Structure 1
Amino acid sequence: MAGVTDRPFRTLCKYFGAGHAVSEMMTSDKTLRMSKKSLYRANFDGEIAPISAQIAGSDPVDLAEAARYQVANGAQIVDINMGCPAKKVCNKLAGSALLQDEDLVARILDAVVAAVDVPVTLKTRLGYLNGQENIIRVAKRAEEAGIAALALHGRTREDMYLNTARYSLIKDVKAMLNIPVIANGDIDSPEKAKYVLDYTGVDAVMIGRAAQGRPWIFREIGHYLKTGEHLAAPSIQEVKDVLLGHLSELYAFYGEYSGCRISRKHIAWYTRGLRSSNEFRQNMYQVESTAEQYKVVESYFDNLLIHGEIMSDVQVEQINLLETK
């Protein structure tokens, strides 16, 4: 979710009912700390508490220093990333690549927990390779190190985002640990959230890709878990209002050049499954200014409203299928 879960997006998800939102992954390499990208990712100004800063790296000393830096920067929780499967991250023995070296994992956990006085959480996967899942040992060691909560994605690094998430090992981990466990992977609907909670016994579920262009998924899941009933799909007017508000926040956060370009992927996600959306997106990608981009998005939705477009159940299902591929 790097490049997605920036401050504007986290704020929006919390508005729709997300109980917790973690920052984008930030490198522990202090030579990159003052880069433009890192400064954006470490911007927590005005963010709704609790503020959680996610750090990634492979050196225990560097990660401990990064944790202290983020706490001084306003973080109330430090989250260690041992789950990212991206090649550029794993090639540096960071993210899920760390699961190949359990001794290094232990030293990182001990160093970061000892470095700060705030809770330290861990996000990881079932293991590095299929057939060599080592999450039981890693999870036990994490609890021993003082990790406050464990978020577990139901795939190995080898799986990347292919195949389907497996929840049986998450269930085993939850049964073994005394700390909170959060399940992640392929949770893209209220029914799926309830199934995973019931099957695994975890304390919470984590939503990632399914919230892209659909931040109201948290509202939908929360309502379903409380009542057993489904909320109506958002109207086109609400989608328009949410998207335009999101764009305004992105423009203010990133400025003219980056704001326009970063917004493109969000616009594409919000408009999946809508009438003539592919043609609209191809035209929208050519726009070079935030003012014009806002205008073409507003015009597109106004046209949908004129023709009485609604988010039908079929469209919602199509969007769900796209999110899981």
Structure 2
Amino acid sequence: MAAGIQIGDVWVPGRVLTAPMTGITDLPFRRLASRLGAAYVATEMVAAAELARARPDVVRRAAVGEGLPLTVIQLVGRDPASMAEGARMAERAGADIIDLNFGCPAKEVTGAACGSALMRTPDLACRLMEAAVNATSRPVTVKMRLGWDDASRNAPELARRAEGLGVKAVTVHGRTRQQFYTGVADWTAVGEVKAAVTVPVIVNGDIVTAADARDALARSGADALMLGRGVYGRPWLAAHLERALADGTVLEEPDAEARLAIVVEHLQASVAFYGLPLGLKMFRKHLGWYVEQAPWPADPLDRRAAKARLCRLDEPDQVEPALAELWRPVTLSGNSVVDIEPQFAEAGAA
């Protein structure tokens, strides 16, 4: 497997990328995933118009921070002028790559004629891409779905037009908007996009295990893959998948002691970034996923009960001892590597 992909003038030192996810890929998560070895972790989806107006909560979603190896800011919108200004602001904020969202299926986004609704209005989508490309010196990429529905799978044609406008890479989630997250991702259909363009194509959707990753790349012919919901409670997944693909080994999961250290680091970063009580509130969904994705306790019902109990804690300093007590028998027994099938939720990924 190649060491990475070239996106415009930016070299991404890996082919396992992490998608922009609202409420998930905030600055604390991006810093943690990057420290654990992820090559590419995008920001949360940022509304271009609100970014242009410097709305505080939107600026926070685009927070770049210091020390990250790569900064990818994703913009969503429907107005070319706002998209251009958002792209300019993203570049000034330190973006290495600017991604445009034509893939989010959420009703509040498509109802505003944004996200995957733009696949029904390809001329407007092209005006948005042209505006962003002309407004910035940074590479502009696009994340889309196969189409709005099965009757209008227009991703190959939209990708062709995107390349003609100067877009430097295309990510395709292998579902239509009308599928949301039901059924299975059609990685083979992403291959039709790959055949239509010469810029890098990134396959996305239902990639959780090393076998999934190999199959998605083989069936799509894509240059790289993008993880979405699979990283819930597993910020190490991109780095571990990268290694598994490179050497042909199985995907390794951290042991209880290593997971505990990651959870505590994430919690402390969230509190430092948001302050209290918001930092703990923002972290609770991650805490729930950390517990659900661990194989301890062995009974899934016990894990869910532990999740409910832990997510009711009111003080950050209660979390570490509670988790340590939950996982202590595993730590003492010396279990080191586990291999589990994650149970991920259906919201949050474009």
Determine helix, strand or coil for the equivalent of 1:53.
strand
Unaligned 5+ runs, structure 1: none
Query: In 2, distance between residues paired with 1:114 and 1:214?
Result: 37
Residue in 2 aligned with 1:266?
A: 286
Query: In 2, distance between residues paired with 1:76 and 1:292?
Result: 38
Matched, 1:283 2:320: no
Which sits farther off after the overlay, 138-147 or 198-207?
198-207
Q: For the Cα contact (< 8 Å) 1:253–1:259, is it kept in 2?
A: yes
Paired letter, 2:205: G
Determine helix, strand or coil for the equivalent of 1:323.
coil
Displacement of 1:137 after TM fit?
1.2
Picking from 230, 245, 257, the partner of 1:237 is 257
Map 1:76-115 to 2 at 5 A: 76-115=96-135
Residue in 2 aligned with 1:169?
A: 189
Give CA deviations for 1:82-118 in whole Å, capped at 9, x if unaligned. 1001111111101001111111011111111001111
RMSD: 2.0
Paired letter, 2:159: A
Query: Is the alpha carbon distance of 1:15 and 1:129 closer, same or farther for their aligned partners in structure 2, counting shifts above 3 Å?
Result: same
Matched, 1:302 2:323: no
Matched, 1:16 2:42: no
Which sits farther off after the overlay, 8-17 or 85-94?
8-17
Give CA deviations for 1:139-174 in whole Å, capped at 9, x if unaligned. 100000100111111011101111100112211111
Residue in 1 aligned with 2:238?
A: 218
Query: Is the alpha carbon distance of 1:271 and 1:146 closer, same or farther for their aligned partners in structure 2, counting shifts above 3 Å?
Result: same
Residue in 1 aligned with 2:214?
A: 194
Matched, 1:123 2:149: no
Displacement of 1:203 after TM fit?
0.8
Query: Is the alpha carbon distance of 1:297 and 1:36 closer, same or farther for their aligned partners in structure 2, counting shifts above 3 Å?
Result: farther
Paired letter, 1:228: G
Query: Is the alpha carbon distance of 1:191 and 1:31 closer, same or farther for their aligned partners in structure 2, counting shifts above 3 Å?
Result: closer
Query: In 1, distance between residues paired with 2:166 and 2:215?
Result: 29
Determine helix, strand or coil for the equivalent of 2:150.
coil
Query: In 2, distance between residues paired with 1:248 and 1:298?
Result: 16
TM-score normalized by the length of structure 2: 0.86
Paired letter, 1:168: T
Residue identity (%): 33
Determine helix, strand or coil for the equivalent of 2:108.
helix
TM-score normalized by the length of structure 1: 0.92
Which sits farther off after the overlay, 10-19 or 263-272?
10-19
Paired letter, 2:344: E
Matched, 1:48 2:45: no
Query: In 2, distance between residues paired with 1:237 and 1:294?
Result: 11
Unaligned 5+ runs, structure 2: 1-20
State the aligned residue count: 320
